[in-house]
A and B are shown apart, each in its own frame.
Chain A
Amino acid sequence: MRGGLLGQIAVTFASLSLVSIGGANAILPEIHRQVVEVLGWMDDATFAHLFAISQAAPGPNVLLVSLIGWQMAGVAGLLVATSAILLPSAVLAFAAGRIVARWSETAWVRVAKNGLVPIALGLILASGLVTARAADHDALGFAISGGTALFLVLSNRNPLWALGVGTLVSVVCTLL
């Protein structure tokens, strides 16, 4: 029975791996549909709870998948779910990286890279804005986000300083 569940976890997430363009956020609705509606592994409240924890932990958003695996089948489930969601896309990235490296001296790969750079920059800035909108509920939140961004642009110190001060300011303002 346990082997059956692990197999199901592996198949479910491996089949999502190669369509997850843009990472876990892009397939979040589909993960929810599979896990809650199709497979009936958990209810909405548990799903939301796991999502919140996965956002609070460091690391990529796919950690939600790891956590679902852990919830369903402990450490084995965690490892199976994480491998299933990451390995197929990692193998593809490996192959793509080799192809790009082999042709990197050719003009068109250089042109393609030049074209990809601004898109990557725009998308990072966009994800910053989307995250800020979700995280900042008041003026204090926006001030912390803005201050942290400014610190990063103006200083070469470790960003952990800004993150620590922001967290401290938030705690102090809430307790006062």
Chain B
Amino acid sequence: MTREISRTELFLGFLKIGLLGFGGIAPWARHVIVEERGWVSDKDYAAVLGIGQVLPGPNTMNMAVMLGDRFQGTAGAVLSLLGLMAMPLLILVGLATLYARFAAVPWVGAAVGGAASGAAGLVIGTALKMTRNIRPTPMAWLFGLLAFVAIGVLQLPLVAVVVVLVPLSIAAAALERRA
């Protein structure tokens, strides 16, 4: 079912995700893992991300640990996590050092603003693309929309939304399976 992914591939793949991950690493993680390298399917990826979401910690970090472990055990998990964090940490220190000097230059502000808008678009596009590829059942549509409205529109607390919607969504999936 799953193909062999070497430790080097894991480390380099996650290193790339971290390097590209301006404006959040979630869209880049899917692009590299599903589209570019084909390590897992969209559905499999969403499931791992969903588990990562209900656990504490950043969902992409949790995803990296779980995928790393799946392909290469403990070493894979450690390498994936290190790969994912290495570039962001380096860039962070560089940015912090430079930021104070260049923040007032007008085109720097415009570039950062444009990149931020684009990054938001990437996240939206990623969700739409995954939805198209996964072809959710009617029940899945309902719960996806509920989660979106609760967090995106009503801005309810995430923990409360997850605690209420996840059990209901799983129960609905169970019912749909039986039907």
Chain A residues with CB under 8 Å of chain B are: 17-26, 50, 52-63, 66-67, 70, 78, 82, 86, 88-90, 92-94, 96-98, 100-101, 107-108, 111-132, 134-137, 140-142, 144-153, 156, 158-160, 162-163, 166-171, 173-175
Contacts and interface: CB of A to CB of B under 8 A. Distances in A.
Contacts of A117: 43, 46-47, 50, 134, 136, 140
A93 B117 contact: no
B152 A145 contact: no
26 contacts: A17-B57, A21-B162, A23-B57, A26-B157, A58-B18, A58-B91, A70-B92, A70-B96, A93-B57, A97-B65, A114-B173, A116-B47, A116-B53, A120-B47, A120-B59, A122-B127, A125-B144, A128-B124, A132-B124, A137-B113, A145-B117, A148-B121, A149-B125, A167-B111, A169-B114, A174-B109
Closest 9 CB pairs of A and B: A170-B114, A89-B57, A59-B88, A152-B125, A122-B147, A148-B121, A116-B50, A126-B152, A115-B170
Given A67-B92, A130-B151, A120 B50 contact: yes
Contacts of B99: 52-53, 56
A86 B61 CA distance: 8
B33 interface: no
A45 to B, nearest CB: 13
B85 interface: yes
Interface in B82-124: 84-85, 87-89, 91-93, 95-96, 99, 106-107, 109-124
B70 interface: yes
Interface in B153-179: 153, 155, 157-159, 162, 165-166, 169-174, 176-177
Nearest to B134: A117
User: Chain A interface secondary structure, helix, strand, loop or mixed?
Assistant: helix
Most B-side CB within 10 Å, residue of A118, A125, A134: A118
B148 A115 contact: no
Contact of A153 (B128, B142, B143, B159): B128
A79 to B, nearest CB: 9
Contact of B95 (A57, A112, A134): A57
B122 A163 contact: yes
B19 interface: yes
B56 A167 contact: no
B22 interface: yes
Contacts of A153: 125, 128-129, 132
B151 A122 contact: yes
B146 interface: yes
Contacts of B141: 118
B54 interface: yes
B10 interface: no
B99 to A, nearest CB: 5
A123 B151 contact: yes
A63 B157 CA distance: 21
B79 interface: no
A50 B93 CA distance: 11
Given A56-B99, A116-B169, A131-B123, 8 more contacts: A17-B57, A61-B24, A66-B92, A114-B176, A122-B147, A167-B115, A171-B114, A174-B110
